[in-house]
Amino acid sequence: MPGTPYDLETLVPGFTLGDYGLLAASFDPILASAGTANTGGTLQGVRVRNPNGSPIHATGVVVVVQAAGATLTAAQNWAAVYREAGTLIGQTTDATTAFGSTGFKQLPFSTPLVIPPGQKLYIVVNSVGTTPVSLARAAATGATSGVNAALAAANSRFFTANTSQTTTAPPTIATPAASTLAIFAGLY
């Protein structure tokens, strides 16, 4: 139903985000089946929302590393969360070690974030190295309109933004560019 919060139970009867230990996510992690390396230093992002009727207390970001990064640059691998207006509200600790191997990764914040009910957020990931990390994504790529439907580029659900990022998340997200890569990311 349009306008209702994302409900994993509708897609996978018997499973909810909570069953995975997640508070919010871009999609059901079972749909993540491929990976593509990001351009080093360019934010790769997804828009999510707090699907609950009450605030959530997020302690970090989750991603699935499909292919480990190579010769990653220390302190330049992290995730961050932004309000829908594009202002930074939290950055994870350094993820260089986590991005050096495959699998489900929990990237903690230094201080938990409190997310109001229904709040839309941007989760972004930065990776810098000889070969940046390859994040798990939905298998379908191709036309940007396929993963972003009728959304305007600036409101894309899956996007890239800001280039030449290093150790600190920028205070705001530059205008997002629609992406064909539907990455899996969430909050725990």
Residues 75-129 pLDDT 10s: 999 999 999 899 999 999 999 999 999 999 999 999 999 999 989 999 999 999 9
Domains in the chain, CATH or no CATH each? 8-187 (2.60.120)
Tokens of 106: 């929990």
**pLDDT for the residue 141:** 60
**Backbone φ/ψ region at 75: left (φ over 0), alpha (ψ -120 to 50), beta:** left
Burial of 87 from C-beta contacts in 10 A (0-12 / 13-18 / 19+): exposed
pLDDT in the model for residue 46: 95
Report the alpha-carbon distance of residue 144 to residue 10 in Å, rounded. 25
CA-CA distance, 56 to 115, in Å (whole number)? Answer: 5
pLDDT at 4: 45
Q: How many Å apart are CA 138 and CA 140, to the nearest integer?
A: 6
Find the radius of gyration of the CA atoms of the chain: 15
In angstroms, how far is CA 114 from the centroid of its own chain?
17
Residues of the chain under the 70 pLDDT cut: 1-14, 140-145
What pTM value is reported for the model? 0.89
